[in-house]
């Protein structure tokens, strides 16, 4: 199992961190993330505002899928006015991390 946790940085208060011509965003829109997940399975979502993802946890069937997602989500977030911080959880820790999350533990 390949677990990826992504936190999107709220750049509305720091517009200098946004690429040229992009509007600062508090996260990534739900529909954009759905398009990027592909073969993955969303485990949890956290919202900055309605329809704007601030944190998402996704499992993938292979490390190749997980790596492609990380590259893609960083590029798309940059275009959408936010910054994606990706955290790949090692396979030997993924099961424990998901189990803790199901029982009220924190994911981030």
Write out pLDDT tens, residues 44-95: 899 999 999 999 999 999 989 999 999 999 999 999 999 999 998 876 676 6
Q: At 78, which CATH number?
A: 3.30.70.330
DSSP three-state, residue 5: strand
Residue 53 in any domain: the answer is yes
Question: What is the spatial distance between Cα 54 and Cα 1, in angstroms, rounded to a whole number?
Answer: 23
Is pLDDT at 108 greater than 80 in this prediction? no
Number of domains in the chain: 1
**Considering just the CA atoms, what is the radius of gyration of the chain in Å?**
14
* Domain with 40 in it: 2-102
Residue 69 in any domain: the answer is yes
Residue 78 in any domain: the answer is yes
Residue with tokens 């989500």: 73
Is pLDDT at 38 greater than 50 in this prediction? yes
Residue 83 in any domain: the answer is yes
Residue 107 in any domain: the answer is no
Residue 25 in any domain: the answer is yes
């Amino acid at each position: 199992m390949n677990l990826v946790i992504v936190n999107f940085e709220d750049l509305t208060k720091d517009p200098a961190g946004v690429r040229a011509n992009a509007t600062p965003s508090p996260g990534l829109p739900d529909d954009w993330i759905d398009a990027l997940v592909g073969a993955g399975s969303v485990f949890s979502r956290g919202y900055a505002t309605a329809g704007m993802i601030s944190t998402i946890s996704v499992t993938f069937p292979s490390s190749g899928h997980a790596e492609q997602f990380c590259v893609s989500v960083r590029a798309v977030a940059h275009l959408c006015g936010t910054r994606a911080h990706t955290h790949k959880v090692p396979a030997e820790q993924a099961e424990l991390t998901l189990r803790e999350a199901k029982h009220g533990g924190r994911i981030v």
